[in-house]
Structure 1
């Protein structure tokens, strides 16, 4: 895969949604959820690739390249986000250039998991002025005290 600007590092994945300054934090999260909910449309793993396109630079440093990111999203922890059956989103909670939103998905077999997406407004770089995902963590009884990169 090549970037739409001709670079060869594979980011962003061409022909799939990317961050845009017109998107608010809820839009950025919603685009990823829509894509993950129909992961193989318009092509295999397009949803995961769209989530990768929305990953912040720090997130990509921790989770990339794309092949490693894909393996992580397919892990037991994040698998319910792929082709989920139902979703319920909480309010976007914004604090300046940072925002979070809780999302509960019901996956195949009825497994329900709540995630918290953490996004930030980028101050520089290719997607200056765009909301990108810094991390996604599972929330609930075994809640982690940190944001897992995603």
Structure 2
């Protein structure tokens, strides 16, 4: 799908933040199970893929001023994504480094119309970062089929796609379906 065929930032199932091995030195003390449980209360089956991505993007935008906001983003990561990127402290280190650093504190974001096939969805996103660059990402989500998230869309992976010139315009693929703007 060409970059011009989407508007937005999204997490798409099947794509991961990075393929990594567990970090045995990572501490889990900063995010207790109770903390995560509080954020996980917002993970609900009635949220569609675009809504999940919007929540994650907003939490990453706000994380520039309040790093605790990343916990909400992590709460919407699928259990298998968490096994690859977690614990939270490791996830936090990953998203503040390139190629994902542009998501933290971005000035503006656009979320494309989700492409849903069965229990998987892809959402394309673009964000304008503080340097005036536009970056594109693909979010991959999977509808979970096991408790405690049965029926919930959660992000399986995020793939950086491109750095667009500052004057590049990204248009919705279908003019009768408006893009979400953050």
Bin for the TM-score computed over the shorter chain: 0.7 to 0.9
Q: How does 1:122-137 map to 2 (within 5 A)?
A: 122-137=144-159
CA pair 140-119 structure 1, distance change in 2 beyond 3 A: same
Larger Rg: 2
The alignment's TM-score, normalised by the length of structure 1, stands at 0.80
Task: Say whether residues 1:114 and 2:114 are aligned partners.
Answer: no
Q: CA deviation at 1:46?
A: 2.9
2:7 matched to which residue of 1?
Answer: none
Alpha-carbon separation, structure 2, partners of 1:45 and 1:17 = 19
The structure with higher relative contact order (CA 8 Å, sep 6+) is: 2
* Contact 1:32 1:47 (C-alpha < 8 Å) held by counterparts: no
1:71 matched to which residue of 2?
Answer: 93
Q: How does 1:1-150 map to 2 (within 5 A)?
A: 1-4=31-34, 11-12=36-37, 14-15=38-39, 18-39=42-63, 44-140=66-162
- Any stretches of 5+ residues in structure 1 without a counterpart? 5-9, 142-150
Q: Report how many residues are paired.
A: 133
Alpha-carbon separation, structure 2, partners of 1:16 and 1:40 = 21
Alpha-carbon RMSD across the aligned residues, in angstroms, is: 1.9
